[in-house]
Structure formats: structure tokens, C-alpha cells
Amino acid sequence: MNEDVADKEIEALIAQLALPEMNSAVLGSEAVPAEQQRDALHTHVRDLRAASPYDALGEAAERLAALGSRAVAPLLRLGLRSPSWGVRNTSVMLLGEIGDVRAVEPLIAALDDDNGIVRSGVAAALGKLGDARAVEPLLQRLAAAEPAFKPASLIPPGGAASLDLRGKMRVMRAVMDGSFMGSAAGVASALAEIGDRRATLPLIETLNSLDATTQREAAEALGKLGDPRAVEPLHTLLARLNEFAPPTPEPAETPGASIEEQARYALAQIQEFPTQMLRDAVQAALDQLANVPSEPPTAF
């Protein structure tokens, strides 16, 4: 039945994956008045809500997923090459869900997408595909030593509350174009999903990162990989974290918060409470490894 679907119909479905986008480059720009940037963002959000395109996008994505392998070639040809990062991102997710190995090499190439959200989605899709060809390219991204997330570059020393309007717009630009995501975002999880223990030693090395989010992703991946060589390094990291364990923060309630306030709060949470999140992830990884034999498999 899938073979009876015309190429033109599939192309039309891929086109429906697009959402209205605004030029995020103006946000935070010194050449555009901050108030004008804010007004442009509010107008975009209002128009997006009024258009309600999400139902059509969801229906198109479901129909493409149902087509299975029949949709793979069009998604690779049109979806991954779309000028819309939203189309590329949804195409990447669909390719991961469909699970056709024809997508492996094109997705590896898409690890260099200029949008960080898409790059993270590519890593997740490669993890779902579980193909060993992705291990080395993913390890290269892990070795780049770039933080998985970079909110600190957007937040001044005084904290998120000290951001002026232009600073808030810069945060929104980073959210919209994915530039707050480093090249390693999602990579550790993808390596864990593939399950290749070649990733163990690089992930152990990543535990020494100065970025807590990157450390947390590495710890979670090591727990899933189940390699006993990770136990001692994880214990060492946990002991170090226990010396400086912060109190667990209460999540703030933000009913009716604007989109800028929500983004600022989310980034502030990542910046201010990484140690507790990391500590929990390390303990969870150790719990997963508790019943693993002390010696790795002979074949490794």
C-alpha cells in the first residue's frame, strides 16, 4: 500500500513539516532597537499561535512515519536539505523512528548542521538506528571538548535577573537557532543507545569536563553501557561532588510567564543547579552498574 503513495504526495507532506519562522538574527542585534526586537518576537509568537500549525504538522509527521521505508528517500532528499531548520529537525526524528539504515550516512553528515537543535536530533536519531558506523563520528564530536550546553555564555555574572532587554533577546536567539547547544549535545546518549563499548574510555574522560551538563550526559551513558571500568571513575566523581553538594532547589512557579521569561528561567536553572543534577545522574549510573561483573567481557 505504501508503494501506491505518489512522490508528490510525500513531498507535500514534507512541506507541511514547516512552521512559520522569524529571522532570529535580529534578536540581540546592536543595529536594531531592543524594543523593536521584542515587538517582532511578540508578533511572531502571536501569529504562530493564531495560525495553529501544529495539528497539520503532527498529522503530516504521523503519515510520513506510517509510510516507513517509502518515505526515507524523500526525507533524505528534501527534508534534510530544507532551508527550514524545523523541517530538518522533524525529518531527522522521523528517520530515527523509521529505522532504515539508508539514513545512517546522510545523518552522519548532518552532524555538522548549523542549527544546534538539529544536530542534537541527529545524534538521537543515530542512537535509535544503532549502527556502528556512527560511533567514530560521534566520538569525534565528544572529543571536541565543547560543552553540551552553553548557557553561561549568555548569562552575565549577576545572573539571569540582571539581563537587560537586549540580553533577553540574545537568549531567545540562542534558543531559536540552537546556538546554546555545543557539538556534544546528545552525543553521549546516542553512544549509549548504540551500545558500543568503544565509547567507554572517551566517556570516562568526559567525566573530567568542566561542564556539568556534559558530565551528566556522560554519566548517564556509562550507566547504560554497563561497562564495569566506569565504576571507579564514577565513584571518584561522586565523592568530589559530595564535598560541595548544594541544597536541592524548589522549582519556581511561573504561570502566565512570557516566552522570554520562560527561556531565561530554564537557562538559569541549568546554570544554577547543575551539581545536584549531576550528582543524581552519577548515583543512578552507579546503581545501574551495581550488578555488573567486575571484569569486562573477554571479547572486548
**Domain assignments of the chain as residue spans, ordered by start:** 1-129, 146-300
Tally Cβ neighbours within 10 Å of residue 108: 17
Closest to 125 in 3D by CA, of 75, 82, 198: 75
- Quick one: cell of 23? 529571522
Q: CATH assignment of 1-129, given 3.30.70.890, 3.90.25.10, 1.25.10.10, 1.10.10.60?
A: 1.25.10.10
Inter-residue contact 215 to 278 (CB < 8 Å): yes
Average confidence (pLDDT) per 10 residues, the chain, 300 residues: 72 89 81 87 82 83 95 96 93 97 97 91 96 95 72 62 78 76 82 94 90 87 95 95 61 60 63 76 95 61
Q: Which residues of 141-164 are buried (b: 16+ CB within 10 A; e: fewer)?
A: bbeeebbbbbbeebbeeeebeebe
- Quick one: cell of 137? 563520528
Residue 181: strand pairing partners: 149
Inter-residue contact 68 to 14 (CB < 8 Å): no
CA distance 56 to 80: 19
Phi-psi region of 99 (alpha: psi -120 to 50; beta: other; left: phi over 0): left
pLDDT of residue 25: 79
CA distance 19 to 12: 14
pLDDT of residue 171: 79
Inter-residue contact 203 to 142 (CB < 8 Å): yes
Residue type, 185: A
Backbone angles phi, psi at 32, to 5 degrees: -115, 130
pLDDT of residue 173: 79
- Residues written for the chain: 300
pLDDT of residue 248: 46
pLDDT of residue 158: 64
Q: CA of 99: how far to CAs of 76, 94, 96, 278, in Å?
A: 13, 9, 5, 31
Tally Cβ neighbours within 10 Å of residue 87: 24
pLDDT of residue 48: 76
Query: Using CA atoms in the order 3, 4, 9, 15, what is the torsion angle rounded to 10 degrees?
Result: -20
* pTM as predicted: 0.77
pLDDT of residue 7: 85
Inter-residue contact 191 to 139 (CB < 8 Å): yes
Residue type, 197: R
* 274 burial via Cβ count (<10 Å: 0-12, 13-18, 19+): buried
Q: Which residues contact 238 (CB under 8 A, 6 or more apart)?
A: 279, 282, 283, 286
Tally Cβ neighbours within 10 Å of residue 248: 9
